[in-house]
């Protein structure tokens, strides 16, 4: 038995007597402190109890019962941030990995991986449409950026994968078309990152609101609020602890509210909250 313990000093333990006695086998932070509150996990090879898989932003494997690990899926190749891991009970070379991009499959125990592109598992936070003809559907996806594609086509063959256009990176949230020009969209990602993007030219503008003075630090939610004025196509709004308003499509901002939070310093200090392991 193995146990990966989150505590003031994270560590991996092993028991050879059904859990009566435990021995620490690894307490190196690079293997034991990878966002345990979110996804870090372990899996044991069903045919070899000394082979241990480590599941986190990447995938690593140990051949010596957890004393050392080697990364087999880095940040590239298969999508990072791994949450599920299945090993065939009779053929441990056959493994299916579930991650923020879908699933990866290996039939040679991790030497090579295939990303299955046939499974529609993208998770949209928000969706929107524009006034083009045919109109486009757009939205931001969990850890897969922001995308836009046609609702239908005027030619035979239907909608192809390559009709979809990448608009913005990171975790995608709100995507809003410019009511005056369908080639321009507003998009955002985590932490208040926001911009305007021209789908034809690739021109990009960062429009995230900036602090009004040196003494004020803006605080944005993971998925900050962004909205268009329904009456003025040039006016948009953005949320931090304040409401920000722009009347020129994000080129400049003004703050139109007081601090709408409790402004509790103990709660907003991200260095000392969020559980045992600080993110």
pLDDT tens digits along 16-59:
999 999 999 999 999 999 988 888 999 999 999 999 999 999 99
Q: What is the pLDDT of residues 71-81, one digit of tens each?
A: 999 988 889 99
- 181-188 sheet: strands from edge to edge: 175-178, 181-188, 194-198, 204-206
Q: Is 60 exceeded by the pLDDT of residue 221?
A: yes
Co-location of 89 and 139 in the same domain: no
d(CA 115, CA 121): 13
- Whether pLDDT at 85 is above 90: yes
pLDDT at 123 over 80: yes
Tell whether 106 and 134 lie within a shared domain. no
Instruction: Report percent pLDDT > 70 for the chain.
Output: 97
Question: Domain span at residue 155?
Answer: 124-255
Determine, yes or no, domain membership for 277.
no
Count of other CB atoms within 10 angstroms of residue 104: 22
* pTM for this entry: 0.86
Specify the DSSP class assigned to residue 242.
Answer: S
Per-residue pLDDT averaged across 79-105, rounded? 95
The confidence band for 272, taking pLDDT boundaries of 50, 70 and 90, is: low
Asked if residue 265 belongs to a domain, the reply is: no
- Structurally, how many domains does the chain consist of? 2
The predicted pLDDT at position 21 comes to 97
Residue 21 sits in a domain whose CATH number is 2.20.25
- The residues with which 124 forms a beta bridge, in sequence order, are 141
Are 138 and 102 in the same domain?
A: no
Segment 152-162 mean pLDDT: 89
**Range name among 85-99, 147-161, 203-217 with the lowest pLDDT average:** 147-161
Residues 107 and 32 in one domain: yes
Maximum CA extent, the chain: 70
Last residue of a domain, one of 89, 115, 141: 115
């Amino acid at each position: 038995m193995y146990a990966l313990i989150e505590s003031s000093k994270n560590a991996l333990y092993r028991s050879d007597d059904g859990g009566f006695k435990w021995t620490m086998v690894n307490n190196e932070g690079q293997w034991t402190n990878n966002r345990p509150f979110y996804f870090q996990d372990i899996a044991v090879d069903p045919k070899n109890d000394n082979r241990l898989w480590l599941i986190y932003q990447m995938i690593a494997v140990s051949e010596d019962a957890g004393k050392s690990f080697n990364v087999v899926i880095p940040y590239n190749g298969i999508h990072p941030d791994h949450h599920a891991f299945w090993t065939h009970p009779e053929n441990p070379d056959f493994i299916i990995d579930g991650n923020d991009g879908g699933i990866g499959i290996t039939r040679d125990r991790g030497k090579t991986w295939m990303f299955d592109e046939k499974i529609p598992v993208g998770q949209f936070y928000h969706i929107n449409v524009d006034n083009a003809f045919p109109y486009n559907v757009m939205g931001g996806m969990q850890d897969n950026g922001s995308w836009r594609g046609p609702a239908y086509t005027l030619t035979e063959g239907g909608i192809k994968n390559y009709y979809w256009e990448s608009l913005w990176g990171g975790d995608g949230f709100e995507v809003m078309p410019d009511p005056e020009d369908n080639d321009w969209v507003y998009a955002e990602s985590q932490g208040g990152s926001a911009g305007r993007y021209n789908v034809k030219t690739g021109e990009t503008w960062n429009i995230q609101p900036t602090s009004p003075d040196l003494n004020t630090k803006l605080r944005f939610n993971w998925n900050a609020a962004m909205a268009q004025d329904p009456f003025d196509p040039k006016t948009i709004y953005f949320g931090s602890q304040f409401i920000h308003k722009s009347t020129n499509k994000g080129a400049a901002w003004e703050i139109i509210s007081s601090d709408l939070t409790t402004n509790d310093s103990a709660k907003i200090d991200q260095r000392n909250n969020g559980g045992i392991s600080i993110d």
